[in-house]
Structure 1
Amino acid sequence: MQKTSAKVYRIGSEQEFRAIQSILMPGDKVMIKNGNYTDWSVNINNKGTSLKPIMIQAEKPGMVTFSGNVTKPIFSISGAYVFIQGINFKDCVLTKTGVLIELSISNNCRISDCSFSSNQVKTQFTPLVIISGNGSNNIVEGCNFISNVDNQDVQVKITKDACPKFTLIENNIFRDKNKVSWPNANGGECVQVGQDPVLLGNQKPETTVRKNRFIHCNGENEVISNKSSENKYLNNYFKDNDGELVMRGGHDCVIADNTFKGGTGGIRVNGTGHQIINNKIDGIATAIRLMYGMAKGKDEIGFYIAASDCIIKNNTISNATTGILIGDSKDANWTGKFDTKRYPSPVMQNVAPFNNTIGGNGFKNVKDKVVEK
């Protein structure tokens, strides 16, 4: 018998969700009753359509809260056109295998208007939200990530075998993130696109991160960490962060129309072919840094790749000590700091930036506009 109309299911437990999960059809809505929930783990592989997505939402936005220990994904979505909306995740404690929402091999799925606040992870490099697998066109939009502890907030996960395509991270707020407690002060990015820039930096997820706000994000020195190729970072707003927008690895990314106000860093660049244009950077000691590497180009293996063939134009830099620094971390010695068997790279950061085009940038109250080391 053909189904003719969408249904609304009101559920109040994991068991009730599991009971209806297999029969969800395009256009159906799952309304989670207002309340506080713990110890959920549901897998959703159903498929909606562009005109009739499957909605999983709070009965009333902001009135459904998940908290407590998380050892498995609370929501794991591997379907298509499944939208999660209006749910709070607060005071969750995540183990290494825990995640709040994972979009895994999903297509056209969406996380909207959710709040992630005061959550804590117990294992380094653990994210709250993961986009993974060989899916495409997934979206994280209109969410708040506030005062989370020791974690990564949003991770686009890239492996040798899987690379999500065309992820959009848009109109989210990231704020009040304290320094992570890990010994090497690493693993506290707000957004990370790729995890292995040395061996997998040539992967092309073509992620877009745009119109987000990053305020008082001090988790580590990379507020955004790009470790893959052909991504776009557009129209984001950064204020008073202890960190930078970092091209840690990868190539051919676009960093355009972003605004930076105060804090410790602006844009840091390794890799080739990036376009850094029309950004406004104010009140940061060194606005743009082009880094030395251990190797060059897209084919050589280096723990860091020298900045090359990048375009840095039409940026407006004000109230800085150095506007654009060409050649930071010269002759840095990485002996003993990474695994040279896994990464067959020289250990000296002695390859200077080269073939970069710098022009048309505006400077106001900048002591040294362009410095080459």
Structure 2
Amino acid sequence: MQRRTFLTGTALGTALMALPAVAQAMGTAPAGRPAISVDSLAALQSAINSAAPGAVITLANGTYTVPNDEPINVKGKHGTHTQPITVIAQSRGGVILRGQRSFVFADSDNVTISGFSFRQSTTLEIPANCAKIRLTRNDFQLADVEGLHWVMVRADHSKVDRNHFHGKSTLGIFLGIEGSGSEGMAQQVQVFKNYFSDHTFAGANGGEPIRLGVSGRALTSARAVVELNLFERANGDPEAISVKSSANTIRYNTIRDSLGGIVLRHGNGSTVDSNWIVNGQEGVRIYGNDHKVVNNYMAGLSGRALVVGSGSARDHVPGESVEARRGNDAADRVVIAHNTLLNNASGLSGETRAHEPRDVVIADNLLVGRSGDLVAMGATVRFTWQSNILFGAAANGNIPAGTFTRTDPKLVTGSDGMARLSASSPAIGAATLKQPAVPLDIEGNARGTSRDIGCDEYATAAPVYRPLTPADVGPNAP
């Protein structure tokens, strides 16, 4: 795997660039769109009230205290996919909104909010009676109030991209995605290129950067995509990305120097693909059924790198009690393939609840460690183990004999600190899992018909993806 310019010439990069245009740093309107410049909250509200599709409303830089009884209302406003209604700061971060509330949405769609610094003391809500709301290039540092959730998205097809969430020391999440009623989930929400940093809550849990659902919504498919986000010093919870709904995709994220990892806590049928989790504590933890966990790189973690969870229940089912739904659902029919676990305190491990995981495939993974056991599973039923590579001073643990090879994978460490296969690695061409297909590696290189063990497919071509840095995400991201 070689480094190259981030997303250059890729299909995903092209798709992201093709998202509806947002006025840039000085709030200028794209050609053909009506431009409205305002310098007061009263004028801003008037402009929003009269805005038609394609309008770009620019608020002059400054600090504005929004009156408690007069929030900025976005009600009954309907842009279109190609002509959203855009409300933008004159320059990114140049408009600071203080007070209890800022924007209050109702019965609106295709509205974009861009470039603001939010400093409120209550949650910014995107309610379920809206759709296609976009929050982009904003800075979120709301009041550091115990239990305050900063942003809650309940609207279908919304986008949260290129924002910075940072600076919280109390209970409460940065970004939540839920839906209507007690079981609904917003559909197909996209969360990408955001920077989540510096949550220092010292409690046992409750400070997730992203919480995708809650236990009561676990069986509802959300089909959200959380990708290309960076998490640094995310120490508010053992779960940096907490998934409590079904059919979601978590990919191409980087979690660095953080307590939290990626946890499929509730729900079924999600994919965790091509994430870097390094120099923190927790890695990936799995509960629920029919997940796919592939191409992930977990290195230098002081806690558990990869956990195949046992359950207080075999499965969560419709109609169960609230208390039962909060329990753990054993991991069944999960595919764990092409992951690299490198020098973690704990490698691949299990748990000891009443219901053991069943029918799990563990194939083509690379496990390297200096101490302890590389594999420490609890009770399992009908596990399929094949073509894994183990190496290092760490003991094999209880991985079944004949399902692995102990050999030096001949890794080389790049300038970014990530270890990759060298040209002489015995992992090259040694993978055997045929279904489900894993056509790409962690950096977007095609695996072809002769696939390599671990997250890295050895290639001389430049990679499509790489571990993220602050320059790749947040308000000034490409």
TM-score w.r.t. length of structure 1: 0.84
Distance 1:59 1:103, change over 3 A: farther
Map 1:323-342 to 2 at 5 A. Answer: 323-326=347-350, 328=351, 330=352
Map 1:109-258 to 2 at 5 A. Answer: 109-117=133-141, 119-124=142-147, 126-132=148-154, 135-150=155-170, 151-158=172-179, 159-160=181-182, 162-180=184-202, 185-195=204-214, 197=215, 199-258=216-275
| Structure 1 residue identity aligned to 2:135 | I
| Structure 2 residue identity aligned to 1:370 | V
Matched residue, 1:287? 305
| Structure 2 residue identity aligned to 1:169 | V
Q: In the aligned structure 2, how far is the partner of 1:137 from the partner of 1:242?
A: 30
The answer on 1:64 being equivalent to 2:88 is: no
Number of residue equivalences = 333
Q: In the aligned structure 2, how far is the partner of 1:162 from the partner of 1:272?
A: 20
Q: Deviations over 1:148-190 (max 9, x none)?
A: 342311110234364210000000011111125xxx5332110
Q: In the aligned structure 1, how far is the partner of 2:107 from the partner of 2:188?
A: 16
Map 1:1-16 to 2 at 5 A. Answer: 6-16=33-43
**TM superposition shift of 1:319:** 0.4
Q: In the aligned structure 2, how far is the partner of 1:73 from the partner of 1:161?
A: 27
The answer on 1:54 being equivalent to 2:99 is: no
Q: In the aligned structure 2, how far is the partner of 1:240 from the partner of 1:208?
A: 23
Report 1 or 2 for greater relative contact order, CA contacts < 8 Å, sequence distance ≥ 6: 2
Could you say what secondary structure the match of 1:15 adopts?
helix
| Percent identity of equivalent pairs | 23
- The alignment's C-alpha RMSD in Å is 2.0
**TM superposition shift of 1:14:** 3.0
**TM superposition shift of 1:127:** 1.8
Matched residue, 2:440? none
Matched residue, 1:318? 342
Q: In the aligned structure 2, how far is the partner of 1:17 from the partner of 1:103?
A: 21
The answer on 1:296 being equivalent to 2:301 is: no
Matched residue, 1:353? 357
| Structure 2 residue identity aligned to 1:369 | L
Matched residue, 1:80? 109
Distance 1:161 1:320, change over 3 A: closer
**TM superposition shift of 1:370:** 2.0
**TM superposition shift of 1:129:** 1.3
Alignment gaps of 5+ in structure 2? 1-31, 379-478
| Structure 1 residue identity aligned to 2:137 | D
Could you say what secondary structure the match of 1:120 adopts?
coil
Could you say what secondary structure the match of 1:147 adopts?
strand
TM-score w.r.t. length of structure 2: 0.66
Matched residue, 2:385? none
- Contact 1:103–1:109 (Cα < 8 Å) also in 2: no
Matched residue, 2:61? 34
Q: In the aligned structure 1, how far is the partner of 2:270 from the partner of 2:236?
A: 24
Q: Deviations over 1:279-338 (max 9, x none)?
A: 000011421112221111342744211111111111011002332102x2x2xxxxxxxx
Moved more, 259-268 or 40-49: 40-49
| Structure 1 residue identity aligned to 2:143 | Q
Matched residue, 1:43? 73
Q: In the aligned structure 2, how far is the partner of 1:62 from the partner of 1:18?
A: 20
Distance 1:136 1:57, change over 3 A: same
- Contact 1:73–1:101 (Cα < 8 Å) also in 2: no
Matched residue, 1:372? 377
- Contact 1:57–1:86 (Cα < 8 Å) also in 2: yes
Q: In the aligned structure 2, how far is the partner of 1:148 from the partner of 1:43?
A: 27
Q: In the aligned structure 2, how far is the partner of 1:25 from the partner of 1:203?
A: 35
- Contact 1:99–1:128 (Cα < 8 Å) also in 2: yes
- Contact 1:207–1:230 (Cα < 8 Å) also in 2: yes
